Structure 1
């Protein structure tokens, strides 16, 4: 199998992204709706559970990366963790959407909290080990750019499945059945990815850092922190745009809820071919410069949203945003891999797991910036809720969907100039 062209193919590696993103996107989109709206869990208790969930995420991400880096087996460092996590992931995903009937509110809170914590633990193991494989399997900037473009195309397909198919399924046969169906898809695509993935055997007995030494080296890596802090501002825009689309549709475009799907589709469907356009652009450029260009393009792409007034105008704006989003999805994994390569040159230690884990936590923390932006802009323009939208909700959501993202992306773009990785650019294979 070693000589097969299918082994470590970017197309087959991307099936892992497809496998994980279908249930993960359904989880992030509908778990609050399921517990709060459908099961009646109080918003205060739901928020408490989510806060504990975020604290747990901060702890388990780095530990998962550290343990993965120190694993040594005849199957590899990452694959044993991935294989072991497959049945656990499906079970925990099912538990999230199969709360028993007749629970008291505190009983429901307890179930919700335990299900969240367990699902997050298994998800972390899978995401960290999958992401850690990227810089190992794909060496050289050109191959990494191609692999990243393919991977992000698969991710968008998964998001479309997770967001569009999920409501149809749970409306017809229930949330628990939806979880089972998505769980089966996860198993099929994950096994397909693992079947054609082969780790580098020479890394099995590579020297390892201790826990304290490993995290100390990570904390001292200035390019790593600058890159991820810059990315966190841009990542905030991803979540902010998705969450503001329904408000933008209602208060700015003044279209019915049934047409919101068209706006979302204009962004995410357009991303699929546009990642190919970005691959064509960035394969001719230095990776850091390509990442920086994608941030600038993303910033420019949110400006037209301010001027949207109709459904047609909103869709055109969505396609433009799709171009900026596509660039931002494709370029960061390539730069992250360069940072890991430089770390290896300096320390002679392979620590993809730790870097992937810490990077993932920084990225997830961007949700706090989004929530703060919503709170501040809402207070400035008097928006409190749908019952109390204030005197000018239209301007409120023009600001949140265009002006705030523009500011965040310009901050990200400015910070990107502090990231210097010229030494890593030697490998252009």
Structure 2
């Protein structure tokens, strides 16, 4: 009995340090998601069709790059482990690119377009190295239901902190997000963010980057790249999870990338700080709703909990189609945090369960393969996101940004992009989850087998080291 409790104890110091890894990861992602579209569309005035085409090229590269890095990570054999080499190598380059994103050449439109494509590809290559390997450590650091529940609660708080930081901090450097006068201020914001990401990343590497030695032995028997992709995509549970994750990232990216335009032209807000407060309020409220979703997971399990979270998100997004003014905007964005909180909470839990069941079937832990393949589909959500924006902006006459050319059609288009499009995708995810096979009862039944397998691997490792 005592042994069980010891196994389930959550070590605070490495958990907090790992949380800083999550913080640096999400800070770099959401700073990019929040402002990259606004910068190149409203500050540099690139045509929406060019932006859409370049984002599609970028997403195709990412669709190849992400699963490739994940599978290579699973197969890496080094004295530092499977994940650490990629994390340590990528961090300084990621920080450098967070600054270079906002320094396009002052020349022709062609040179700006080429720079945009090259720099976003470079960004995502190093971000992927950091992101996939950092997130793949989650099931290793939190190996059972109890530690995952507690650990995920703490990690979600770091996520909320990163999101608030990503949305609020730029407003102290950039007074108006769509005003060309403040182009250089984007660089100042990038420098500040790069420093914060670097510090948080170093603390994570020093104190929170822990790999289980018994898991690292799986690199010797990990499948080859194309076999790994084939096995991963054969998993029914994983393919259903992909639909849920697709909906999460499509909706979150749509909200974060369009809030600067929605806030200014639909709600009538002209100060960047107030627009940032809208998004920040969503993620502050997200933190308050975390205990609710933790209890939901405990009572109902991940499948039913995720379905409730997705449904609540649709309902809570609906006011964005009708409201106007800062006050109603603030109330709506606060309530949106409830749906986002639940969907974000359950996406990590769902994937950890899938990895556990896969290990039970194959004998190998392949977190990197699953995380990498997941990223492949996230990039498809990016294609759909910018295709949706391109379709609507072309329809309402906003191919090139014109701050004086806002019409009722433009406002309707922004409202549709913030509610109608996400609601359809979230609804499809709910329908997909009906067929998700890993119920609360099944996971509890199989957990002892999973735990026994981990103990067996540990014994084999100890025996081989004697």
Structure 1 residue 129: Cα displacement: 0.4
Of 61, 66, 69 in structure 1, the residue corresponding to residue 66 of structure 2 is 61
Q: For residues 298 and 417 of structure 2, what CA distance do their matches in structure 1 show?
A: 33
Q: Does 1:356 align with 2:364?
A: no
Matched, 1:235 2:261: no
**SS of equivalent to 2:310:** helix
Q: Name the counterpart of 1:136.
A: 140
Aligned length: 424
Q: Once the 2 structures are TM-superposed, how far is the Cα of residue 177 of structure 1 from its aligned partner?
A: 4.2
Moved more, 391-400 or 318-327: 391-400
Residues 305 and 47 of structure 1: is their aligned pair in 2 closer, same or farther, counting only changes over 3 Å? closer
Quick one: distance in 2 between partners of 1:77 and 1:37? 42
Residue 173 of structure 1 and its aligned partner are, at CA, apart by 7.1
1:189 and 2:189 matched: no
Question: Do the aligned partners of 2:259 and 2:275 also contact (CA within 8 Å) in 1?
Answer: yes
In 1, Cα distance between the equivalents of 2:194 and 2:375?
23
Counterpart CA distance in 1 for 2:41 and 2:350 is 39
Task: Please say if 1:205 is aligned against 2:224.
Answer: no
Equivalent residue number for residue 424 of structure 2: 407
The Cα RMSD (Å) is 3.1
Cα distance per residue 1:382-418 (max 9 Å; x no partner): 6333666565555555444334433332221111111
Give the whole-Å Cα distance in 2 for the aligned partners of 1:212 and 1:80: 23
Contact 2:62 2:379 in 1 (8 A): no
Take 2:282 and 2:144, find their aligned partners in 1: how far apart are those partners?
30
Q: Are residues 1:90 and 2:95 paired?
A: yes
- Contact kept in structure 1, 2:171 and 2:276, CA below 8 Å: no
2:229 to 215, 236, 250: 215
CA drift of 1:203 comes to 1.8
Paired position in structure 2 for 1:332: 347
Structure 1 partner of 2:462: none
Distance 1:55 1:108 in 2: 20
1:199 match: secondary structure? coil
Q: How does 1:307-318 map to 2 (within 5 A)?
A: 307-318=322-333
Q: 1:311 to 1:183 in 2, by over 3 A?
A: closer
User: Partner of 2:79 in structure 1?
Assistant: 74
Q: Secondary structure at the match of 2:359?
A: helix
TM-score relative to the length of structure 2:
0.80
Kindly indicate whether residue 11 of structure 2 is the aligned counterpart of residue 5 of structure 1. yes
Contact 2:33 2:253 in 1 (8 A): no
Are 1:158 and 2:158 an aligned pair? no
What CA deviation, in whole Å up to 9, does each residue of 1:215-257 have, x standing for no partner?
Answer: 2211211111111123313432222333454555456545555
Aligned twin of 1:370? 385
- 1:333 CA drift (Å): 0.5
1:148-175, Cα deviation, whole Å (9 max, x unpaired): 2322322222222222222433659744
Q: What's the secondary structure of 2:137's corresponding residue?
A: helix
Partner residue in 2 for 1:16:
21
Q: Which runs of 5+ in 1 are unaligned?
A: none
Q: Secondary structure at the match of 2:217?
A: coil
Cα deviation 1:115-135 (Å, max 9, x = unaligned): 222222111111110111111
Secondary structure of the residue aligned to 2:435 is coil
Contact 2:167 2:276 in 1 (8 A): no
Cα distance, 1:409–1:367 mapped onto 2, change above 3 Å: same
The answer for the alignment partner of 1:279 in structure 2 is 294
Q: For residues 244-289 of structure 1, what are the alpha-carbon distances to aligned partners after superposition, in whole Å with 9 as ceiling and x for unaligned? A: 5455545654555564334323322211222233223323331222
Q: Which moved more, 1:15-24 or 1:246-255?
A: 246-255
Is 1:179–2:196 an aligned residue pair? Answer: no
